[in-house]
Amino acid sequence: MTRTIAQQAQLALLLEVATTPKPGNVDRRHDHEDLRFEHFLAGAAGANDGLRALADPDGPPIGVAFERAVEGMSDQSGGNTQFGGLLLLAPLVRAGALGEVTSERARRIAEGTGVEDAVGFYRAFEHVDVAVADPPEDMDALDVRHGSDAVPAVRERGLSLYDVLERSTDHDEIAREWTGSFERTFDAAAAIEERDGPVTDRAGDVFLDMLAADPDTFVAINHGAEVAEDVRERAAAARDGHIDADDLADELVEEGINPGTTADLLAGGLFVALYRGVDV
């Protein structure tokens, strides 16, 4: 059976949340107090219409389709489950719709976004609460927390979605992927492809490698840079076998620490790996 591009993207979201241990994140064995495994399953199901729009080469601008995916994702009681993952997937899925998922094509799609893509992005914040860093003082009018209220400023300045995300690269890893070459996403895909065994086991190892390599920006936004570095060091210890990864997962959940950006990168890597033929 051949899956559609949208089905591959939806499966990537499901495989990401099913991967365990994934220290600090919701997975099939770990829930946070108000955010549970079932919410992520419902979020992935709800995102279907938006993913199908992204997978249509003649579909709406990817920012508009992204907002549709977020709206559907939000139709569950847990709140934000996959906002960052859907944002990362958007240019990758459209690249697949156009016939080739490569970093070069995804970068061209990101660079080719326009004002309507940025408008869709801002409107997506109307559907869920998303933890973001404070903007620079001269960019208050463009604070994404304003949601649709920021749209006049976006239109007045003629900003594309690429332009908006380019202003967030100092504190947001998804923005760095979008405005770079999706390097970590494609590295994750290659690492998943190179390993053997069940995909969720491979993905768990890759998640730990990524978390050990760089401080998670979602942790930094919510808990500060020192905590993010501490989590990175603890992940490196788990990767190297000095502590147990399952124990670390329990500890981070207990501490309320959620390395969500690393999970988003894993979802993107899973999509690319599935597109390239990793069998499930």
Tell me the domain boundaries of the chain: 5-275
CA distance 81 to 89: 14
- Residue 241 gets the label, from left (phi > 0), alpha (psi -120 to 50) or beta, of left
Three-state SS at 62? helix
Q: pLDDT at position 135, please?
A: 77
Residue numbers of the chain with a pLDDT score lower than 50: none
Q: pLDDT at position 198, please?
A: 97
DSSP code of residue 81: S
CA distance 115 to 106: 18
Cβ burial, residue 251 (10 Å; 0-12/13-18/19+): middle
Q: pLDDT at position 56, please?
A: 97
**Beta strand ranges found along the chain (DSSP E):** none
Task: List 27's β-bridge partners, or say none.
Answer: 30
CA distance 54 to 89: 9
Which of 133, 38, 47 is closest to 83 using CA atoms? 47
Q: pLDDT at position 140, please?
A: 82
Q: Which CATH superfamily is domain 5-275 in?
A: Triphosphoribosyl-dephospho-CoA protein (1.10.4200.10)
Q: Which residues contact 139 (CB under 8 A, 6 or more apart)?
A: 167
Q: pLDDT at position 252, please?
A: 96
Omega prior to 21 cis, within 30 of 0 = yes
- Block residue for tokens 């970590």: 184
Q: pLDDT at position 255, please?
A: 95
